[in-house]
């Protein structure tokens, strides 16, 4: 989604299906688009199978069952959340019965939202505050709460978004910002709410495999100059999370949040899915939308001060909201599509991307339903506008 928005520049072959995202010319036959849909629903199917069979297990303790139920409900909601943001109205699948699923229809965004909240609140009941292991690689109560805060923010339920983010921010014994930004993405990071552990011990993250390059020009991608130029010169995030690669008089900027790019005896980094800084920015936005200027400024300045910057000069609601969007851009770049989802949900996609993307169309705010899925189940019609 960094290509689809304005975070990344593309350097690989024009024939690669990724380039369709760069140039905003995705077709319903695009292989990546089909994979997003099918792999998402495959995960949902596995969650449903787990939920249906856990109750029948005679060997698992109730404590283990509850943990697994909570995790399955969380993942089911997480995947539906992303699919709905990509495709709009989608089926919300709660059963593994293929004879039912083969005939499903798309549901309204309101119905999806209600079911998302229901899954997440059920998951909260099943999960404990503590993680089931010493690492933060499986969901706990606060992981689910982090997604709830994001869901409520996207649906403009400001009071609830603030309430859920508060629960995490106020648990300072477990979650606190790393003042040393070089520690933010280490596996021991205290700001991490949920991480993904590499498949093999000692492996780097998928992010570092994709983003890191040692010599120019980049084989696939680099940060856009437009993004890099938005950082203030003294911003520690620019100094620590971005690396400049030079070749003669040419230079490129590499995302450098994850720095391990070789196999070691032990992995030093785990990929982060949720972290505290996002929750602080969620609360800032929820606060300003409720008229709490003082509270919003406190949250913005918490993020800015940690980055070595002085307090924001924004004073009115419009300027403060602009500052929040900017801080989200600079804090969360190349992390799971935040930039795209922000400009989409705030109705800024067209004004942001039209000058940069010759292929931009207003209907690009949604992806097409894969044609293979429509052929298998015509109930998924009508196709999204523009495809």
Residue where the block lists tokens 């606190």: 176
Question: How confident is the model at residue 108, as a pLDDT?
Answer: 97
User: Token pair for residue 203?
Assistant: 């492996």
Strand partners, 134: none
Closest CA to 365 of 381, 352, 379: 352
- Residue 8, beta-bridge partner list: 223
pLDDT at 55: 85
Residues 129/140, Cβ–Cβ less than 8 Å: yes
Q: What is the pLDDT of residues 165-174, one digit of tens each?
A: 999 999 999 9
Could you tell me how far CA 164 lies from the centroid of its own chain? 17
CA distances from 220 to 239, 257, 307, 330 (A): 22, 17, 28, 21
CB 134 within 8 A of CB 88: no
Please report the pLDDT score of residue 309 as a whole number. Answer: 98
- 122, two tokens: 């059920």
Q: Which of 73, 74, 70 is nearest to 126 (CA)?
A: 70
Query: Which of the 8 DSSP states describes residue 196?
Result: E
Cβ–Cβ under 8 Å, residues 343 and 7: no
| Per-residue confidence (pLDDT) for residue 295, from 0 to 100 | 98
How far, in Å, CA of 354 to CA of 362, rounded?
9
The pLDDT value recorded for residue 303 is 98
Question: Do the Cβ atoms of 143 and 274 come closer than 8 Å?
Answer: yes
Burial (Cβ within 10 Å: 0-12, 13-18, ≥19) of residue 369? buried
Whole-number CA gyration radius for the chain: 21
Contact between 154 and 271 under an 8 Å Cβ cutoff? The reply is no
Q: How far apart are CA 297 and CA 145, in angstroms?
A: 23
Sign of the dihedral through C-alpha 36, 37, 38, 41: positive
pLDDT number for residue 71? 98
The residue ranges of the chain whose pLDDT is under 70 are: none
SS3 129: coil
Q: Are 119 and 69 in contact (CB under 8 A)?
A: no
Q: What local confidence, expressed as pLDDT, does residue 33 receive?
A: 98
Distance CA 162, CA 122 (A): 20
pLDDT at 269: 98
Distance CA 139, CA 368 (A): 31
Other beta carbons within 10 angstroms of residue 258's beta carbon come to 24
> What is the distance between the alpha carbons of residues 55 and 279, in angstroms, rounded to a whole number?
34
Residue 305: per-residue pLDDT: 98
Mind listing the pLDDT tens digit for each residue in 20-64? Answer: 999 999 999 999 999 999 999 999 999 999 999 998 899 999 999
Enumerate the β-bridge partners of residue 107: 90
């Amino acid at each position: 989604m960094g290509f689809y928005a304005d975070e990344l520049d593309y350097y690989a072959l024009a024939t690669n299906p990724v380039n369709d995202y760069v140039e905003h010319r995705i077709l319903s036959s695009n292989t990546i688009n089909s994979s997003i849909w099918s792999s998402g629903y495959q995960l949902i199917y596995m969650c449903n199978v787990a939920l249906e069979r856990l109750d029948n297990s005679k060997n698992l303790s109730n404590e283990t069952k509850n943990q697994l139920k909570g995790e399955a409900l969380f993942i089911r909601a997480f995947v539906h959340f992303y699919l709905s943001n990509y495709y709009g109205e989608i089926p919300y699948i709660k059963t593994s019965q293929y004879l039912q699923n083969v005939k499903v229809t798309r549901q309204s965004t309101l119905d999806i939202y209600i079911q998302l909240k229901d899954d997440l609140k059920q998951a909260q009941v099943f999960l404990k505050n503590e993680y089931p292991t010493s690492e933060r690689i499986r969901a706990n109560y606060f992981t689910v709460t982090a997604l709830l805060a994001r869901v409520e923010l996207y649906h403009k339920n400001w009071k609830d978004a603030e309430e859920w983010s508060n629960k995490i921010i106020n648990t300072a014994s477990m979650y606190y910002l790393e003042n040393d930004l070089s520690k933010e993405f280490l596996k021991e990071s205290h700001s991490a709410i949920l991480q993904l552990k590499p498949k093999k011990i000692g492996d780097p993250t998928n992010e570092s495999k994709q983003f890191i390059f040692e010599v120019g020009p980049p084989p696939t991608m680099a940060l856009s100059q437009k993004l890099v130029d938005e950082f203030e010169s003294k911003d520690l995030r620019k100094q620590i999370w971005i690396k400049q690669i030079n070749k003669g008089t040419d230079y490129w900027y590499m995302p450098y949040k994850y720095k391990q790019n070789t196999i070691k005896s032990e992995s030093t980094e785990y990929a982060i899915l949720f972290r505290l800084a996002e929750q602080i920015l969620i609360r800032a936005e929820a606060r300003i939308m409720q008229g709490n200027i003082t509270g919003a400024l406190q949250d913005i300045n918490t993020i800015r001060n940690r980055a070595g910057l002085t307090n924001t000069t924004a004073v009115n609601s419009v300027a403060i909201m602009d500052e929040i969007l900017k801080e989200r851009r600079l804090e969360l770049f190349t992390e799971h599509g935040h930039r795209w989802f922000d400009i989409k949900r705030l109705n800024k996609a067209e004004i942001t991307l039209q000058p940069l993307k010759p292929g931009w169309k207003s209907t690009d705010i949604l992806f097409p339903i894969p044609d293979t899925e429509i052929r298998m189940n015509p109930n998924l019609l009508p196709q999204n506008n523009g495809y």
